[in-house]
A and B are shown apart, each in its own frame.
Chain A
């Protein structure tokens, strides 16, 4: 009887200790999860900002300005366009 009780006591102590460690583990993991989620949010924010930046750079107003002023491009007149029909190539 005494031996059984001692055994049970040992098991109990073991369980209690493992509870403490797993609890601690859980908290540590949770903090980590939390940190990663915050990172994910900040990446999402950055993605949005990059999209914004990209579409601002790619706005037709700007593209046209650069094409016309820096690269000196212009739309060809009707006399300088040759229309090629898809069927004519075969």
Chain B
């Protein structure tokens, strides 16, 4: 005790603490403490959105659930358009950090040269696609390089196994697999999938550990079945291509319809394009001419004039019409038959395709009657196949017709149609006088059509059409071994500017077997310039080849002996009028 007090006395005296110091310190600590509590209460209950958001962004993710686009298949279920996942690789050039060696590896993975890659990365933009729509394996190799600033994204790419043979019908899809042309465009609603999204919890490694909620369920696109038969389509395409090339034509079209249901079994156009590689395709080649272009049909329209006349009772198949001397003058205009014929029965008017005969028959009818038959046969209204941009053609109201127009209308001038319309109109003669709906979508067997003429008239015209393809008619080259064929040629001068030119549109429309029609085939060649231009010489052989092979493929029983084809001797052919 004494030692301690001695030590105290030896050191300097301790100054006395001010008496208020303890309460002040205590007060400050208390205030700080209150501030902390207030702050925490504020963060917990009032301003919590930010922190909550930050928190959840560390463990939860909203991820997109991809949805497939539906397939397009043909009537037998063969796929015509399929989407498969691919990846696109993009870069943010400003953020790319990699050793030159790695960039070389990247170039190798992308199948390009390091120079080309460097050029892409140095072009000054903030964002650049290094490769679009590459196979997932390629993207996997790129991702394995782990280069900063290089990313990939999931996409779908659509493939068309049929390539150029069917590109006009199917069309194609653009970015994000959305339909841009053809059936891909019109059926977008049906085919397109709607991607869903869901919220999940992820762990430290980024693996999903828990499904929190489905925000939107993905909706896969539905498959679309077309009426097209791939085999017939290929056949039609092959024959059309061969014919266009042989005849040096500018363009061509070929349509095959099912005579019972009106379904479009094949629809080929030339020129065409490959939908799988269409970087530099002219719009011109993408046009589905058979549906979006019109032409003056020429003589292929005559059967409808005759049908209207038969229907009205003005003529019978054996009524005689005087067509001599091969010209017929109406006011200031004169109609010509290039090969004058003399007196012909109505049957022979079709068989020999006499313009004068058809004009005389047409003028014996009221304009409204002829108009009604043509309108009922579907001319002047779009064929409603479900294809975008199909045209209606032109059929002017009967009230505006002058007599000369009524006369030329009888043989298919002054009226315009598209090829599908023309083929569909022939369902009237291939059935019992009913117009069937032409459809690109698969239906279920025969359908009831809209009556246009009576069964008797349809049968009478069918017989005349059979005469037209036999020797003595305009198209013996349309005959098919083993089958009875009925059909009509057409050769029309092309209308350019204000007048007709010496360019032609040659066509043939027909059906077989005539005893029980199964198929209708319509062929059209635009500006054949290899010498011949008559429908019977240019289009009829195409018809014969397509019809023969198509009936064989479909296994249609023959309705005639196999040696039924009789071709007239050279020079003895009957030329039709134009």
The reply to whether the CB of A49 lies closer than 8 angstroms to some CB of chain B is: yes
Q: Are A51 and B162 in contact (CB under 8 A)?
A: no
Q: Are B209 and A31 in contact (CB under 8 A)?
A: yes
Interface hits, B161-209 → A, CB 8 Å: 161-163, 165, 207-209
Q: Are A51 and B79 in contact (CB under 8 A)?
A: yes
Q: Are A55 and B481 in contact (CB under 8 A)?
A: no
Of A26, A56, A64, A75, which contacts B161 at CB under 8 A?
A: A56
Given known contacts A27-B209, A44-B68, what 7 new A-B pairs fall within 8 Å (CB)? Answer: A45-B85, A48-B84, A59-B163, A61-B165, A78-B565, A79-B562, A83-B562
Q: Are A52 and B84 in contact (CB under 8 A)?
A: yes
The reply to whether the CB of A34 lies closer than 8 angstroms to some CB of chain B is: yes
Given A31-B208, A60-B230: A78 and B482 interface contact (C-beta under 8 Å): yes
Q: Are A60 and B558 in contact (CB under 8 A)?
A: no
The reply to whether the CB of B122 lies closer than 8 angstroms to some CB of chain A is: no
Q: Are B82 and A31 in contact (CB under 8 A)?
A: no
Interface centre among A55, A59, A61 (most CB of B within 10 A): A55
Q: Are A49 and B84 in contact (CB under 8 A)?
A: yes
The residue in chain A whose Cβ has the minimal distance to the Cβ of B235 is A60
The residue in chain A whose Cβ has the minimal distance to the Cβ of B552 is A75
Q: For residue A43, which residues in chain B have a CB less than 8 angstroms away from its CB?
A: none
Chain B residues packing against A (C-beta within 8 Å): 68, 71, 78-80, 82-85, 159, 161-163, 165, 207-211, 230-231, 234-235, 238, 481-482, 549, 557-558, 562-563, 565
Of A31, A52, A55, A58, which contacts B207 at CB under 8 A?
A: A31
Q: Are A59 and B208 in contact (CB under 8 A)?
A: no
Interface centre among B71, B85, B235 (most CB of A within 10 A): B85
Report the bound CA distance from A27 to B202 in whole Å: 11
Q: For residue B562, which residues in chain A have a CB less than 8 angstroms away from its CB?
A: 78-79, 81, 83
> Closest CB-CB distance, B480 to chain A, in whole Å?
10
Chain A interface main SS type: helix
A/B interface sample: 16 pairs, CB < 8 A? A31-B209, A48-B68, A49-B84, A51-B71, A52-B79, A52-B84, A55-B78, A55-B79, A59-B234, A60-B230, A60-B234, A61-B234, A78-B481, A78-B562, A79-B562, A81-B482
Count of chain A residues near B, Cβ 8 A: 24
Report the bound CA distance from A58 to B397 in whole Å: 50
Q: Are A51 and B481 in contact (CB under 8 A)?
A: no
Q: Are A51 and B209 in contact (CB under 8 A)?
A: no
Q: For residue A75, which residues in chain B have a CB less than 8 angstroms away from its CB?
A: 549
1/0 per residue A38-50: CB within 8 Å of B?
A: 0000001100110
Report the bound CA distance from A45 to B82 in whole Å: 10
Report the bound CA distance from A52 to B160 in whole Å: 8
Q: Are B84 and A55 in contact (CB under 8 A)?
A: no
Q: Are B234 and A27 in contact (CB under 8 A)?
A: no
Q: Are B210 and A30 in contact (CB under 8 A)?
A: yes
Report the bound CA distance from A81 to B68 in whole Å: 48
1/0 per residue A64-90: CB within 8 Å of B?
A: 100000000001001101010100000
Q: Are A34 and B558 in contact (CB under 8 A)?
A: no
Interface hits, A13-33 → B, CB 8 Å: 26-27, 30-31
> Closest CB-CB distance, A15 to chain B, in whole Å?
21
Q: For residue A85, which residues in chain B have a CB less than 8 angstroms away from its CB?
A: 557
Report the bound CA distance from A58 to B211 in whole Å: 43
Q: Are B82 and A78 in contact (CB under 8 A)?
A: no
Q: Are B159 and A52 in contact (CB under 8 A)?
A: yes
The residue in chain B whose Cβ has the minimal distance to the Cβ of A23 is B210
Q: For residue B162, which residues in chain A have a CB less than 8 angstroms away from its CB?
A: 59
Q: Are A48 and B161 in contact (CB under 8 A)?
A: no
The residue in chain B whose Cβ has the minimal distance to the Cβ of A53 is B161
Q: Are A83 and B79 in contact (CB under 8 A)?
A: no
Q: For residue A55, which residues in chain B have a CB less than 8 angstroms away from its CB?
A: 78-80, 161
